[in-house]
Structure 1
């Protein structure tokens, strides 16, 4: 009888310790601020809160690529420090930027940083009204083809060339988070930073990750939005309807600088949303490029690159709001 009771006790203890050591699987939603904006990360069926690890990744990204942090690698490079050995994050963003710069015929160009600053939309907040001669002077320092990496160091044809990856960095930050979650064998997640999004897998009960995108053409009706399935896709939006300034003489300047002309003047294209089965950094860069291209060039690009989906919002000849949509986003 005593032996039997001991066996029962041992069995109960083993069961207790087994339950205590078992991983508790749950869903997580993490929120905060990074890159000057907000983020929301939702991942399902995981055993751990990875907030600390993600904070470390954000720190490394800022240390490498933030033009708003004076001690970052890119800030030191922009100040003329030729001793900086760039890290893997910088190298990947640079390599990707080179590819998209070529694909878009230079409409995506991270060397417009001096002009972004001069027009008042960069970290320096200079807010100048440039003359034609001043624009021409700054255009000497525009062109990603004038920048290379040799032995891990940035080499610029002119020391005044200013690099600014902010038009791709948010999307790239999302990709970095996504890779981290992939490394933890998390199959279902949505990562959003400042409105840019990347999603994988599905939500609970096998529902896709669906977002509601405001349809400005029908915003006052009951059909004032469209649903977009973002499962296993990325989405980024660039627009000039929020980031702009107006001078005393009524001239409006927008934050998208055309790298072909050097000017920050609004075109009839108001916003570009890019949706594709690509890295979010790619969709971020393409959205920026489309805003610089203008409507017709963006439409031509999309006709050739069928793997990229987009919704373009523009003002037509009559002054009315209109949309151009690739197939699948009607």
Structure 2
């Protein structure tokens, strides 16, 4: 397959704000290893408070911070009392793990590391025997929270909430803004979005999905208008590595097999009137499921809208969507 046919799905904002209305607050910077942009219509600048919330999420859920709660748990500490942030992400993960028949599973962290996509060093001698060994520690049905402590059936089980934590961080900020009476806002982190209300004069928030340009330029694949929706995308078009023998491994680890191999589904975007954490997790699950299983799953979830970009048997880019 021609690599130039890989779809690159990313999100940029088209911010056409009427000059006849009060200008919004605009915040932006770097967080969670990517960039963020926040636009809201309110009466105060909450940048300092929002920075504090980002810190709270990192202290609870970042596998890249050695002193975070999740890092301590992954390192075998058994007396870590998890906070409300960790508990909510854990509970959401448990529910979506069950809904997707295990295709969304944040206990796959050891394999994420082994294949070279996590904070730990990859394994150079990774073979089917080692993959099978690591798979014995995978399964969200093998972990639970009891009395505020995480209980693991196997000490080796390694949590990696990166496939849901970015969306959850967006929800934390969105809820904070709502607690301050802000009704019209858009929070974006690394392309994931939570949009509430509208821009002035009732105009919807407009976001853009990009074409798969391999030269680094950006052009529109399609435009989407959102209000009171969350949106997240997952894909294997950016995060991958190619070994010396030409084998390609992608960052989405299939929790059913333990392997990081590519399917014909290149990108999944999910939109719903749910938390961004939820659609973030569903998009990740679809990449593990592949096209056909994702379509079947969507038929049972009428509240989820999706845009699935895939390559057909002729190597042509195609789109499946159930958007109304």
- What TM-score do the two structures reach when normalised by structure 1? 0.88
Contact 2:64–2:119 at 8 Å: present in 1 too? yes
Work out the number of aligned pairs and report it. Answer: 298
For 1:167 and 1:128, the matched residues in 2 are separated by 24
Aligned pair partner of 2:223 in 221, 224, 227? 227
Give ranges in structure 1 of 5+ residues lacking alignment: 1-24, 218-222
- Tell me which of the two structures has the higher relative contact order, counting C-alpha pairs closer than 8 angstroms and 6 or more residues apart: 2
Aligned pair partner of 1:32 in 4, 25, 29? 29
Alignment RMSD (CA, Å): 1.4
CA shift, 1:127, in A, is 5.2
Give ranges in structure 2 of 5+ residues lacking alignment: 1-21, 214-218
- 1:82 pairs with 2:78: yes
CA shift, 1:210, in A, is 1.5
Larger Rg: 1
Q: Deviation digits for residues 146-178 of structure 1, max 9, x if unmatched?
A: 000010000000100000100000000000000
Q: Which residue is 1:48 aligned to?
A: 44
For 2:51 and 2:208, the matched residues in 1 are separated by 28
CA shift, 1:124, in A, is 1.1
For 2:124 and 2:100, the matched residues in 1 are separated by 28
CA shift, 1:26, in A, is 5.3
Q: Measured at CA, do residues 325 and 215 of structure 1 come closer, stay the same or move farther in structure 2, by a change above 3 Å?
A: farther
- 1:72 pairs with 2:68: yes
Helix, strand or coil: the match of 2:24? strand
For 2:125 and 2:314, the matched residues in 1 are separated by 30
Q: Which residue is 2:233 aligned to?
A: 237
Runs of 4+ in 1 over 4 A off after TM superposition: none
- What TM-score do the two structures reach when normalised by structure 2? 0.90
Helix, strand or coil: the match of 2:193? strand
- 1:296 pairs with 2:282: no
